[in-house]
Chains A and B, each alone.
Chain A
C-alpha cells in the first residue's frame, strides 16, 4: 500500500552537508504494523516527517513514494496537502505541544472532519463524541468542550489520536506516541492503535526508541542507525535472532524485568568512519573494511535484510 523508495534527506549548513536520512526504502501493506526503531539522531523521525510532508523547509528531500496507487515525489511538497489528515493520520510524541491551547479539544478533532469529509459542524460534533467515547475520553459529551490544559497527558494523546483517525486514514504514522506517558497509559494507547489497525485494516508506521513497544505491536521492524536501515525483518527475527551488531546492542541495552543487564561495554573512542559503516565507531567487531566502505544491503531469506560487512 505504501512504498518508499530511495528517500534521502539532507541538511546543508554553510559549508557542511549533513545527511539525516540516506537511501531508505521500505514498504507497508494494509493491516500491517511497521516498527521503526533507533536512537535519537538515527533519522527515524525525519523519515516520518518526510512521509507527511512536514519537514522543515531547509531540508532537501529526494526520492519517491507510492501511496494508494499514486506515485509522489518528495521534492514536490504540494502533493501532501490533501493527504495529510484525510488519508494519512499523524500522532506525535508531545500532545501538549501539538494541540492548540486556545481551542476546545472537540473543535480540534472536528476540524479535519469538516475540512476533508465535508461534514456540517453539527455532524462533525456528533462524530467527535462518538470518536471520544470509542477512545475512552469519557464523559465524551463534556470532554469535547474542554481545553487541552484541562486534560491529563494520556487524555491529550487520546485526543491527538482521535484527530488523527477522524477521517479514517489508510495510513497512520505514530512518532514516539507513548514516550512521555506512564507505562499504564502507554499500554492503553498501544491497545487503541492496535485496535484501529485491526478494525480498519489500515497500515501503521510505529516509530519508537523502545524495543519493548515495538515488540508488542509491530509485525515488521526496521532498525535505523545514522540515517540508514541497518537491519530489517519480522519482529520475531529481529527480537529473537538479531544479526546486526547494532540491533544486538540495542537489545542488550534494554532494561528487562526478568533478567539483569549484561552489557557489552564498547565504545571505540576517537574512531571515525567517514564514508564507512555508520555503526563502525561503536561496533565491537569492526574491521578495517568497516571504516572505509559503506556496507551493501544484503537480502536474506524470508524477506530479511541487513547491512553489515562482517556477516
Chain B
C-alpha cells in the first residue's frame, strides 16, 4: 500500500544554554492516507518537535521526509496543516473568526470573494460552529470554540494530513469529548490522515489507528492501537498505561513510578529508558536496542522483549 507519509531516520538537534539537545534523534515512521497516528510520550520526548518537522516548521539536520512520494524536509505544504496546542496563542487576537478562517484562501488567491465566503461557511459548519460567531474576536470565544476555529483554519486548505498538537489538553472534559467526536467524524468525511500528538493515551485511543510511543527523542514502540493497548511490549509503554488514572474506583492503583521524565540535555547511554526501567540489565545500559517485530506491525525497541521471545 502506498504510504502518504514516510519519515526516514529524521533527527533534529539544537543548542540551548551551551548544551546540545537531541530533540528528535533518528525517528522513522510511515502513515497511509486516511489513517490516524497517535504520538505519545512525556514532555521532552520530542513528539511536538517531530510534528513540527513533518509540518515543515522545522528543518531536520538528518533524514528524509516523503509526502505522497516527494521529499518535503523544511517545506510547508498546503496539504499538511498543523493545529497548534494553544489555540489562544495560535489565533491572531486582532482578527475576526471570518478573517482567521479565510486567511489561507486569501493567500492562495485562487478564489473570488463570494467563493471564499461560501468555503468559510462550509468549514465553519464542518467544525460545528454556528454562523453567529463569524464576526467575533478570539477572546470572545470559549476554549473549545477557539480550537474549532483553529481546525477550520487548517481544513480550508483541503489538507490530506492534519497534525494536531494536544488538541484537547487545555479543554474541559465535556468540550474535549465533543472535540474528539468531531475529529473522528471529520476524518471519515474528508478522508484525512491525522497525526495526533498527546501525552494522554486515552485520547489517542479514541481517535487513532496507530500509535508511536516516544521517549527521549526516539520511538520505543509502535503498532496498531489494539496491539499497543492490549499487549504493550516496552516497559515505558507499560509505565504510561499503568499511570493513567482510571475513573473506576475499584481499579485503584497508584503505581510506583521510577524516576522523572527524561531531561533532553542529559540523555543516558544505551537504552535511553534504562535508568527508569524495572527490568534493566547490563546490556540495557550499554547498547541501544534495535527494533524488534513481536507481532506483525508491532515493533518494540527493548532488549528484554527480544530475550523473552527467544
| Residues of A that sit less than 8 Å from B by CB | 39-40, 152-155, 182-188, 190-191, 194, 209-217, 235-236, 239-240, 249-258, 260-261, 263, 265, 269
Contacts and interface: CB of A to CB of B under 8 A. Distances in A.
B16 interface: no
Interface in B238-278: 239-250, 252-257, 260-261, 263
A184 B181 contact: no
Contact of B247 (A155, A184, A251, A263): A251
14 contacts: A154-B260, A183-B200, A184-B239, A184-B257, A187-B254, A190-B245, A191-B256, A210-B173, A215-B245, A216-B246, A216-B252, A239-B248, A252-B177, A263-B178
Given A185-B42, A253-B174, 9 more contacts: A182-B43, A185-B257, A212-B246, A240-B250, A249-B174, A253-B176, A257-B201, A258-B246, A261-B180
B173 A182 contact: no
Contacts of A184: 42, 239-240, 243, 257, 261
Given A154-B261, A187-B254, A256-B202, A263 B249 contact: no
A261 B201 contact: no
Contact residues on B (Cβ < 8 Å of other chain), bracket: 35 or more
Contact of A255 (B43, B130, B205, B248): B205
A194 B254 contact: yes
B292 interface: no
A183 B247 CA distance: 14
Nearest to B172: A39
A185 B247 contact: no
Contacts of B174: 39, 249-250, 253
B137 interface: no
A261 B177 contact: yes
A187 B249 contact: no
Nearest 3 A/B pairs, CB to CB: A212-B245, A253-B177, A255-B202
A256 B261 contact: no
Q: Which of B181, B229, B244 neighbours the largest number of chain A CB atoms within 10 Å of its CB?
A: B244
Nearest to B239: A184
Contacts of B188: none
Contact of A216 (B173, B254, B261): B254
B153 interface: no
A294 B240 CA distance: 43
Q: A39, A182, A190: which has the most chain B beta carbons within 10 Å?
A: A182
B247 A239 contact: yes
B234 interface: no
B156 interface: no
A251 B178 CA distance: 13
A39 B249 CA distance: 20
A275 B126 CA distance: 34
Contacts of A256: 202, 205, 246-247
A185 B242 CA distance: 12
B254 A254 contact: no
Contacts of A187: 242-243, 245, 254-255, 257
A302 to B, nearest CB: 15
Contacts of A269: 130
A154 B250 CA distance: 27
B199 interface: yes
Contacts of A251: 247
Contact of A183 (B130, B240, B253): B240
Given A183-B240, A184-B42, A269-B130, A236 B249 contact: yes
B15 to A, nearest CB: 19
B110 to A, nearest CB: 34
Contact of A209 (B173, B260, B261): B173
Contacts of B256: 191
B151 interface: no
Nearest to B181: A263
B206 interface: yes
Given A183-B200, A184-B243, A265-B181, A257 B205 contact: yes
Scoring A215, A235, A249, A260 by chain B CB atoms within 10 A of each residue's CB, the highest score goes to A215
A153 B200 contact: no
A269 to B, nearest CB: 7
B202 A257 contact: yes
B120 interface: no
A209 B143 CA distance: 15
B192 to A, nearest CB: 19
Contacts of B260: 152, 154-155, 185
B249 A255 contact: no
B177 A255 contact: yes
B172 A254 contact: no
Nearest to A188: B257
B203 interface: yes
Contacts of A215: 245-249, 252
A249 B173 CA distance: 9
B261 A182 contact: yes
A235 B249 contact: yes
Contacts of B247: 211-212, 214-215, 239, 251, 254, 256
A240 to B, nearest CB: 8
A218 to B, nearest CB: 8
Contacts of B176: 253, 255
A213 B252 CA distance: 10
A73 B27 CA distance: 60
